[in-house]
Amino acid sequence: MTILTRLSLLVLVLSTLSVTAQSTKRSGNPVFPGWYADPEGAIFGNRYWIYPTYSDKYEKQVHFDAFSSPDLVNWTKHPRILDSSAVKWAKKAMWAPAIVQKGGQYFLFFGANDVHPGEVGGIGVAVANNPAGPFLDHIGKPLVGEVHNGAQPIDQFVFRDTDGKEYLIYGGWGHCNIAQLTSDYKGFIPFADGTTFREITPKNYVEGPIMFVRNGRYYFMWSEGGWTGPNYSVAYAVGSSPFGPFERVGKVLQQDPTVATGAGHHSVINVPGTDDWYIIYHRRPLTETDGNHRETCIDKLYFDEKGAIKPVRITKEGVEARRL
C-alpha cells in the first residue's frame, strides 16, 4: 500500500468519524440558558421554533423571547418579539404563548394580567410578518376577557383540525374550553346550539391543554398538579373528535428525582412526513426551589403499537441533532 493510499484511507476514516460525531451531537437539557417555561414548539419552513414564557415575577413577566434552530441542537435567541408596550391592556403576567401561521403572517396568542372576574385581561392575539417578530396587538383588546364555564382565560392553544377548522382550546382553574375561531382570529363562530364556549374538561385537568391528531385519533394533553411544586406533570386522553368525550388515560410526563422536578406544561411537534415526535416542556433543576426557576427541555415522544403514548423519560442529554 502506497503512502498516498494510506493517506487517502486516513482522510476517509477521519471524515467518517467527524460525520458520526456530528450526527450523534445532542441538544442537552435545558436546550438554551435562562428561566423559561410553558414552551410552545413549532416548525416554520426549515427551522424549529420555541416560544416560551419568560419565567419571572408576574410584574416583570411582560415580554416574550423566541428561539429558533435548524437542528434542535443549535439555538438562536430572538429577544423581545413582543412586549407590553405593544399591548396597551397587558400590564403583567404575559405567559404561555401559542403560535400559528396563516397567509404569510404569524399569529401569537398569549395570556396576560392573570385575570379574574371584573378585571381587564385574558387571552390576546398579536401578529407579525416574521416568526421572529416584531409582533403587534391584533385586535386591541382581549380575545377572551371573561371567565366562561369556570375556566380562567389562560394557557391557550390553537388547534387546526384536518378539515381546516381552527379552535382555541384554553383554560385554568381546573376547567378547559374549546371555541371555534373566525378565520381572522378576531372572534368566534358559535356552535349549532348557540353556545360559543364548550367545556371539554377531563378528569384531573388543571391547565396547559394541547391537542394533535395521529392516525385519525385526537390526542388531548394537559398539565396536572401545582406548577410551583415537584409533582407538576402531564396526562392525556384520546378521542374521536376535538370535542371528545375525553377519558383520562394516565400520566406520560413527570418528575424524575434524579434528574429534575416539576416536569410539565408542554407542547408536541411532529417532523413533517414522518412519525417522529418530540415533547418540549419545562422542569425545575434539583437545586432550585424558586417557583419561577424553570427551564425549557426537549425529549423524544414515543407511541406503542396500539397508539398509546409511552411514558417519557426525561433526560439531561436531550435529543440528537435532526435537520428538517
How far apart, in whole angstroms, are the C-alpha atoms of residue 68 and residue 300?
Answer: 18
Please give the pLDDT value at position 296.
98
Our answer to whether residue 114 is catalytic in this structure is no
3-state secondary structure of 65: strand
Which tens digit of pLDDT belongs to each residue from 166-224? Answer: 999 999 999 999 999 999 999 999 999 999 999 999 999 999 999 999 999 999 999 99
Please give the pLDDT value at position 2.
59
3-state secondary structure of 166: strand
Average pLDDT on 28-53 reads 98
Average pLDDT on 235-262 reads 97
Which tens digit of pLDDT belongs to each residue from 267-315? Answer: 999 999 999 999 999 999 999 999 999 999 999 999 999 999 999 999 9
Q: With cut-offs at 50, 70 and 90, classify the pLDDT of residue 24.
A: confident
- Answering whether pTM is above 0.85, one says yes
Mean pLDDT of the chain, nearest integer: 94
How far apart, in whole angstroms, are the C-alpha atoms of residue 144 and residue 125?
Answer: 10
Our answer to whether residue 207 is catalytic in this structure is yes
The whole-angstrom distance between residue 279's C-alpha and the CA centroid of its chain comes to: 8
Please give the pLDDT value at position 1.
56
Q: Which candidate in 65, 83, 207, 224 is catalytic?
A: 207
- Cβ neighbours of residue 231 under 8 Å, at least 6 residues apart? 225, 254, 255, 261, 262
Q: With cut-offs at 50, 70 and 90, classify the pLDDT of residue 18.
A: very low
Residue 90 burial (CB < 10 Å; 0-12/13-18/19+)?
Answer: buried
Q: With cut-offs at 50, 70 and 90, classify the pLDDT of residue 10.
A: very low
22 has a pLDDT exceeding 80: no
17 has a pLDDT exceeding 70: no
Average pLDDT on 96-112 reads 97
CA dist list (Å): 41 to 50, 97, 116, 223, 254: 5, 10, 28, 16, 19
The closest of 309, 298, 306 to 252, measured between CA atoms, is 309
